[in-house]
Amino acid sequence: DSGVTQTPKHLITATGQRVTLRCSPRSGDLSVYWYQQSLDQGLQFLIQYYNGEERAKGNILERFSAQQFPDLHSELNLSSLELGDSALYFCASSAANINEQFFGPGTRLTVL
Amino acid sequence: AQSVTQPDIHITVSEGASLELRCNYSYGATPYLFWYVQSPGQGLQLLLKYFSGDTLVQGIKGFEAEFKRSQSSFNLRKPSVHWSDAAEYFCAVGAVGYSTLTFGKGTMLLVSP
């Protein structure tokens, strides 16, 4: 158990809908990262937050957004969902600005 | 920008045999290097990491990796593979001063009896 929790574990929704994925980092970790894992694209970094502020952006679509709250949990919002958004979404956390990241169990999103 | 190449998509090893998974990185300075393992339906678990110092690093579950600057490689090894090692293995590179990681495409390890 990495100490990073993600909810929900599974999510099934329809095209055009909006969903919110939630992540709680390890106790004391200030950085939260979001990744998308799909068969064709592999593990893609989406976005990083550090202590409530956006720190780095990767291959995140404009339909996707994230935020980190004062209690350090983070949410990833996915809107206008398309079939191609079906994937595993992972959250990871790390202490301060250190590279070592601890991953949550992921949320499997299925868009029908 | 950093990049990571894991040239083997799949590898099959007999149980009890030795294992080496290849990882090559591209980065202009000294990188931070990681190996993660992902079992089916699970998140990624950190096996080992290299930040500096001794180029041979020991990790969990009997794995080790060697950093070779001249070859830009960070290959993962295990002397005797167990059936429970069947999983997907990811190499990742990070940069000094930046907390994001770049991951390779992964190598799926299959263990035959």
Q: Convert the pLDDT of each residue in A11-46 to its tens digit.
A: 999 999 999 999 999 999 999 999 999 988 888 999
Residue B28 has pLDDT above 80, yes or no: no
Ramachandran sector of residue B106 (left: φ over 0; alpha: ψ -120 to 50; beta: rest): left
Q: Please state the rounded mean pLDDT for residues B77-103.
A: 90
Token pair belonging to A72:
């350090």
Chain B neighbours among A 22-81 (CB < 8 Å)? 31, 33, 42-43, 45, 48, 50, 55-56, 58
What pLDDT shows up at residue B101? 87
Q: Are A32 and A91 in contact (CB under 8 A)?
A: yes
Residues from chain A that touch B42, judged by Cβ atoms under 8 A, are 105-106
What pLDDT shows up at residue B91? 96
The answer to whether residue B60 neighbours chain A at the CB level (below 8 Å) is no
The percentage of chain B sitting over the pLDDT mark of 90, rounded to a whole number, equals: 76
Q: Are A23 and A34 in contact (CB under 8 A)?
A: yes
Buried b (16+ CB within 10 A) or exposed e, A45-55: bbbbbbeeeeb
What pLDDT shows up at residue B30? 76
Compute the distance between CA of residue B6 and CA of residue B75 in angstroms, rounded to an integer: 9
What pLDDT shows up at residue A98? 67
Residues from chain B that touch A45, judged by Cβ atoms under 8 A, are 100-103
Token pair belonging to A44:
């893609």
The residue whose two tokens read 């919002």 is: A77
